[in-house]
A and B are shown apart, each in its own frame.
Chain A
Amino acid sequence: AQSVTQLGSHVSVSEGALVLLRCNYSSSVPPYLFWYVQYPNQGLQLLLKYTSAATLVKGINGFEAEFKKSETSFHLTKPSAHMSDAAEYFCAVRGNNNDMRFGAGTRLTVKP
């Protein structure tokens, strides 16, 4: 069965600093991996997805993620944090039934 684990329920960075949100996956088949962002009182918005075409995936708002099979990881990064990046971020893997299996989420706080 497919699953993901997000390391760190809360991450705090200063504006302009590197953002690194960690996600490790478990899958018996080549995984389809996703990162979603949820702003307060809003629905989930897709940031980026990995579908085996390229290991480094670029998404919206300057975010990117690298698929590392040897580490079973799909960490999300952004070189320079903006105040507007404050939100909750969810890593997800597509399940056998095409459902989305989400991690517990990481709340990102950006300090001025």
Chain B
Amino acid sequence: GAGVSQSPSNKVTEKGKDVELRCDPISGHTALYWYRQSLGQGLEFLIYFQGNSAPDKSGLPSDRFSAERTGGSVSTLTIQRTQQEDSAVYLCASSLGGGPHNEQFFGPGTRLTVL
């Protein structure tokens, strides 16, 4: 069956430009998470969507970062006015529910390089 997909797989952009990263979760999964994996910082939680509830944005590093989840399915992570320190692999995960025992399934990630 289809897993979590992310696009693009690689994105190179210039400092100051905006970027949009897309995540398609597994069908039927109500919970969706964004993480960032960067050298020196490891894996960091960014944002969490559960059903129709307001998202948990506590991990977003600055107000340049935002995310939406339309129709409870596809999610888009937007980074405005990108900086070089935004360079990282952005991982999306989904799970059947938001409970702590539910396995999170990860996508392959989007590698963002800001020049």
Contacts and interface: CB of A to CB of B under 8 A. Distances in A.
Interface of A: 32, 36, 42-46, 49, 51, 90, 92, 94-95, 97-105
B115 interface: no
Contacts of B91: 43-44
Contacts of B99: 98
Interface in B24-52: 31, 33, 35, 42-43, 45, 48, 50
Interface of B: 4, 31, 33, 35, 42-43, 45, 48, 50, 56, 58-59, 91, 93, 98-101, 103-109
A51 B102 CA distance: 10
Given A44-B91, A90-B43, A97-B48, A49 B108 contact: no
Contacts of B43: 90, 92, 100, 102, 105
